[in-house]
């Protein structure tokens, strides 16, 4: 079977996923345990919108998505940062 098998073929293999790095928004030190936290923005296209990812030392900490505008995602991320810094 060729590499051009249709997607419904039992031999179809999708191309490997290539992770895209997010846009670094800010970094800070969390007050309660002095952990370094980074905040990244990702755009998933017009239909899905913006996602905010908080990363703790390279491991995903938490995320929230489906923001229709970048400004709304940044505003939410800054509010979360203020809560974590207290």
Q: State the pTM of this model.
A: 0.74
How many angstroms separate the CA atoms of 21 and 41, rounded? 9
Confidence of residue 19 (pLDDT cuts 50, 70, 90): confident
pLDDT at 8: 83
pLDDT per residue as tens digits for the range 27-81? 998 878 888 999 999 999 888 999 999 999 888 889 999 999 999 999 999 999 9
% residues pLDDT > 90 (the chain)? 50
Q: DSSP of the chain, one letter per residue?
A: --TT--TTSTT--PPPP-PPPPEEEEEEE-TTT--EEEEEEEE--TTT-EEEEEEETTEEEEEEEEESSHHHHHHHHHHHHHHHH-
């Amino acid at each position: 079977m060729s590499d051009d098998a249709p997607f419904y073929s039992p031999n179809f293999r999708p191309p490997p996923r290539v992770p895209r790095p997010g846009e670094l928004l800010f970094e800070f030190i969390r007050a309660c345990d002095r952990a370094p936290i980074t905040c990244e923005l990702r755009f998933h296209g017009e239909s899905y919108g913006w996602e905010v990812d908080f990363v703790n030392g390279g491991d995903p900490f938490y995320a929230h998505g489906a923001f229709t505008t970048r400004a709304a995602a940044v505003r939410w991320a800054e509010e979360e940062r203020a809560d974590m810094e207290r």
